[in-house]
Structure 1
Amino acid sequence: MCYLLIGNISAFISDDCTEPLVNARLRVYLPDGRCPTGNDPKNYIYNGPGQLTSAQVEAKQERLLAETTLDERGNFTLTWEQLHLFTEPLELDISLHHMPEQAGIRGIVSNYHLSTVVPHWTRSGQRYVAAYAYVIPVECWSQIRANYGTWIIAGTVRRLQASEGQSQLRVEAYNVGNHRLLGCARTDDQGKYQLRFSKKELTSKWSTVSEPGHENGPDIYFKVYRDKQLVWEEDPATAMMPGRRSVAPCTTININIRESAFRKTPGWLGSWAVTGRKSSLVRH
């Protein structure tokens, strides 16, 4: 009998924003006979993963049932053959070599136990099919990103006092220590953006101030463009405000742009122009 397990592994950046674990390695193990009973699989979805040592990973090798690499959306498909109806719990682990923005760089290898669950198998023809999803809590993901020396900043760009996000904008983040561009991203149809960078983008001043429980990071400010036109920029002093100093590896910053920052240019140009450049932000 063929078994098919499909699903997704991602991580919280904030309460309503996630990112996939691109190219991470997912491993499924047979049970070792010591799995506690009475575990509800739902309880594992938001529990933090437990880090494994190299010795612990090696000790489980003989029980390895199947493994695969997550795609660019964190999705996976696993198949294996089993002669009998499979009702045992499965152990699921993840192996990381780098963060998504470090593609092509083989960094430190870290392994984590995600959960031990009994999938809800449904028969479909000559195979049994089940689904599984796991979302790493933001506190855990922030620490994992810190271990790899990487940051992700997410948020929404809106006009002040307007509910809809501003699409097709380029958001750029700068390190106030050297005014160097850290990273950029485009807003989607809802005005949302996700901007990533790593330690290699930090070449001079690091902020010495950090929020409790977070690694030191850069002090940042933003510029916003529509195509090649600058439509919004913040005073670099904004980087000294709470929420901008020593940003955590997982940070949410929503950018609210005053209505006066835009005006429609008369005549045939019909493009956006800058008339004001003061920033307003909301941080969650």
Structure 2
Amino acid sequence: MRHIIKGNLAAYLCRDCSEYLSQVKVRVYLPQSDINLAAVSAAEIKDTFKEVKEEEIKSKENRLIAEAETDMNGNFSLIIDEKYSRSSLEIDFSCGTISRPPLTPKKGKERQFHITTFVPQWKITKEEQILVANFSYIIPEKWWCIIKGRYFDIWTICGRLTDCQTGKPLAGITVIAMDADFITDDELGRNTTDSNGHFKIYYTSADFKKTFLSPIINIETDVLPPFASGPDVYFQLEYSGQRFALETKSNRRDNVGYCLCVKLCSKELIPVEPSIPPSFTHFGLTQHIPIQTGINLATGKTLGGYAFFSSVNLVGTISKKINAQPMEYLFEYQEVTNPTDPLNPAGWNAVVPNMIDKTLIGYLWTLTGDVSNPVNYDPYYINGTGTENTINFNGNWIQVPQDSNFAAHVDAEILKLSTEKLTGVTSIDMSMPTSEIGNSSVSPARPHISNRYFAIRMKQREVGNSATEVVAGTSKPIAIYNVLYQNVNKHGSWAHTTVNNQYLALSVDLEEIISGSGGCSKITTDLHVKYGARNENLGSVSLSITGPHKPGQSFGFNPIVLMSSPETYGSTQLVFTPPTDTVADLLPCAYTISISATALLTTGDSNLDSYYDFVSFCKI
């Protein structure tokens, strides 16, 4: 009958914090013949645990009878030969690597440790008809912390985070361990609390021996006695991308050992001021277009060839204070005739409040006391409405909220500029007979409107203190185009209608229908497609046709070549394969010709959608 030892190995990091010994080797030996088995078997494990030196490992090799490796949960199984089933057994384990989530295991010299001499108590299992003896052991923290730290340079912080007022655990919050140094503070590591508020942070000595000369020179940068080798630890929190000051350097725990056990509580969430200085750096949250290097100076457009329109996110960083005083900021603009024109130092105008669309600039963070949703964040806006938190203006200056739990945006939107309020919106009435489709639409009644060019800059200061004003980011002049087309022809003469408020005027029609008796005129041998697309920043115009074809036959249109601004127009015909086919060779049926066009306009977050038109006809 088979004899199996089923066991589990774990270790304490603190009295209420443990971890499994995963992927360690468990070795079972026969005891020495001259040993006092009764004494060693009765001894407490705390008195028998020891490191096994290399010469001793070699001397007991001939007594090794079984070996297995623990799984991720510290479990192992060992098959014992029946002839040894009545013997006492020595239990050792060895490890050459130590887990340090979320990093790869730390490797080192393989070391072996003796746990105890074990007398198996065999019990038969009815299901499998085997004899099983159970063995489990939890290494005391004084041993395990030394093994991990001294031999494998794995330092551990084990703790629990709760709400100071309710005592309830705070789940789903990232705890960040910081090392307070004379030169610069290092982040040791981080971990997210579980449903009971527990967390574990693993780090190595390299994480707290960084200096401004790293990696050339790595030392712990204490400059005062006792020059101990451990880090000086304090804690910060992070939730939904925002960092909070749970403690400061003055709360640090000096020169901690290999294992640090902490109980933390938070009574309020005080956001950490960003390390990025207040500044205006990009256009658009999504496309994140740099205000200088992302703009083509020759055209004022993005490097992809896009002009701006509608509402544009001005992206950057703000903080509650500058020079330890409350901060306020504003944006200014300056129009130039050409994007290459030099800026006039005296030519700046303030972006006034009604030019600003509703803008989210940060959040108020509070603890909820709800274990499943521990933190509530309440948005703060420029030009908020109703009961929303909204900033105060000091003239045209935007005052940054000073609430202790306010977290200002970092590398995010800090003002949403309505370029339509900046430039105004020009409407062009495109009313015209369908017979004019395919010809130029520019006329005194429908004038050519070009892009306009504006440089944008941010200024900041202490509230009300003009002497502290500084510029915090100036863009190259950007191209802006806010034109809407009214009464644009759609569906040609077939099902004629007009549409309004179009950012791109796009129409298609058929000469044969225009010149026929009505929109339902039929096509026999000729088909001339007329088209027109208008926008200062046209990107593409293309035609397609949908309808049946004969076997071996295909037809379509040659690519449309864009004209110079502000429009592309003309007339074209089908191109057939085989080239000897003509319109007369189309099958008698209904067909639809579609036109699509794009204009290269962007908000920095999204681009203008494609526009479409179509006209249908019957071939007889």
TM-score category (smaller protein)? 0.7 to 0.9
Partners of 2:237 and 2:246 within 8 A in 1: yes
Q: Which whole-Å CA distance do the structure 2 matches of 1:216 and 1:20 have between them?
A: 27
Alpha-carbon offset, residue 229 of structure 1: 2.6
Counterpart among 137, 141, 159 of residue 155 in structure 1: 159
Partners of 2:13 and 2:19 within 8 A in 1: yes
Alpha-carbon offset, residue 180 of structure 1: 1.9
Q: Which whole-Å CA distance do the structure 2 matches of 1:184 and 1:42 have between them?
A: 43
- Report 1:27-38 matches (<5 A): 27-38=27-38
Change (3 A) 1:237 1:50: same
Post-superposition CA distance 1:147-189 (Å, at most 9, x none) = 1222111110011133321111111111212322111111111
Q: Which amino acid aligns with 1:144?
A: I
Change (3 A) 1:164 1:48: farther
Instruction: Give 2:55's aligned residue.
Output: 55
* SS of structure 2 residue aligned to 1:233: coil
Which stretch of the first structure deviates more once superposed, 195-204 or 101-110?
A: 101-110
Instruction: Give 2:258's aligned residue.
Output: 249
Change (3 A) 1:46 1:193: farther
Partners of 2:173 and 2:238 within 8 A in 1: yes
Partners of 1:47 and 1:136 within 8 A in 2: no
Q: Which whole-Å CA distance do the structure 2 matches of 1:37 and 1:104 have between them?
A: 37
* Higher RCO by CA contacts (8 Å cutoff, separation 6 or greater): 1
Counterpart among 176, 191, 199 of residue 197 in structure 2: 191
Counterpart among 142, 166, 170 of residue 166 in structure 1: 170
Matched, 1:138 2:165: no
Partners of 1:176 and 1:220 within 8 A in 2: yes
- Report 1:1-284 matches (<5 A): 1-39=1-39, 44-47=44-47, 49-83=49-83, 86-101=85-100, 103-124=104-125, 125-147=128-150, 148-177=152-181, 178-202=184-208, 203-204=210-211, 205-206=219-220, 207=222, 216-239=229-252, 244-259=253-268, 263=366, 271-272=376-377, 275=404
Partners of 1:6 and 1:130 within 8 A in 2: yes
Post-superposition CA distance 1:229-273 (Å, at most 9, x none) = 33443212222xxxx1111111101111114665279xxxx9337
Alpha-carbon offset, residue 83 of structure 1: 4.3
Count of residues paired in the alignment:
265
* SS of structure 2 residue aligned to 1:168: coil
Partners of 2:99 and 2:106 within 8 A in 1: no
Partners of 1:151 and 1:197 within 8 A in 2: yes
Post-superposition CA distance 1:121-168 (Å, at most 9, x none) = 102254210111111111112221231222111110011133321111
Change (3 A) 1:48 1:229: farther
Q: Which runs of 5+ in 1 are unaligned?
A: 278-284
Change (3 A) 1:253 1:2: same
Q: Which amino acid aligns with 2:98?
A: M
Partners of 2:120 and 2:133 within 8 A in 1: yes
Change (3 A) 1:41 1:13: farther
Q: Which amino acid aligns with 1:263?
A: T
Q: Which amino acid aligns with 2:64?
A: L
Q: Which amino acid aligns with 2:260?
A: T
Change (3 A) 1:183 1:210: farther
Alpha-carbon offset, residue 209 of structure 1: 6.2
Q: Which amino acid aligns with 1:227?
A: S
Partners of 1:232 and 1:276 within 8 A in 2: no
Superposition RMSD on alpha carbons, in Å? 2.8
* SS of structure 2 residue aligned to 1:99: strand
Partners of 1:35 and 1:116 within 8 A in 2: no
Alpha-carbon offset, residue 95 of structure 1: 0.8
Larger Rg: 2
Sequence identity, in percent? 25
* SS of structure 2 residue aligned to 1:38: helix
Which stretch of the first structure deviates more once superposed, 72-81 or 127-136?
A: 72-81
Q: Which whole-Å CA distance do the structure 2 matches of 1:209 and 1:73 have between them?
A: 42
Q: Which whole-Å CA distance do the structure 2 matches of 1:169 and 1:126 have between them?
A: 48
Change (3 A) 1:229 1:15: same
TM score, norm. by length of structure 1: 0.82
TM score, norm. by length of structure 2: 0.40
Post-superposition CA distance 1:57-97 (Å, at most 9, x none) = 1111111111112222222122233247x121110111121
Change (3 A) 1:160 1:31: same
Q: Which whole-Å CA distance do the structure 2 matches of 1:249 and 1:38 have between them?
A: 36
Which stretch of the first structure deviates more once superposed, 95-104 or 129-138?
A: 95-104
Q: Which amino acid aligns with 2:203?
A: F
